[in-house]
Amino acid sequence: MAEVEDTLEQHPQKKRILVVDDDPSIRSSLGLILTTAGHEVILAENGAEATRRWRELGADLVILDVFMPEMDGLETVAALRAHAPRLPIIAMSGGGATGMDMLLEAKLFGADWTIAKPFTMAEFMALVGSALGGTPNTHD
């Protein structure tokens, strides 16, 4: 957890981060990492829940999986972009070659950054740090 503590020193301001993944273990692991780094974390298991939670609570950053039931990551990015053009969004995927294609699609739909699963905690926290480096946007 030293990596998380090092990142916290670089980004001491508490941010609200919405984490969206249909895999409960990934969702809870990322939530724990971000909470340990001092952030407020909102969890959602699909895009429909994520857009509802974002409308209710706002967020400084959204981190979402591309492949999800009900409302996938691409639809979620498009829905969020319609209301918050400058909201930082990170899209994740672990679907091999198809997943890489979907990460490219996610960028076209408006994701600012992408990351392929599996990733290290250091890679993840570096990307979160980059995403939070700009001006926070909760409800454009």
Q: What is the CATH number of the domain that holds 84?
A: 3.40.50.2300
Cβ-based neighbours of 37, under 8 Å, separated by 6 or more: 4, 5, 7, 8, 11, 125, 128
In-domain check, residue 95: yes
**Which residue has better confidence, 119 or 95?**
119
Task: Evaluate if residue 63 carries a pLDDT over 90.
Answer: yes
- In DSSP terms, which residues pair with 113 in a beta bridge? 90
Give the pLDDT of residue 97.
61
Alpha helices by DSSP H, 1-140: 2-10, 24-36, 47-57, 73-83, 96-109, 121-132
Give the pLDDT of residue 61.
98
In-domain check, residue 41: yes
In-domain check, residue 59: yes
Number of domains forming the structure of the chain: 1
User: Structural domain of residue 24, as residue ranges?
Assistant: 15-127
Q: How much is the pTM?
A: 0.85
Query: Are the CB atoms for 75 and 111 separated by under 8 Å?
Result: no
Q: What is the residue type of 107? A: K
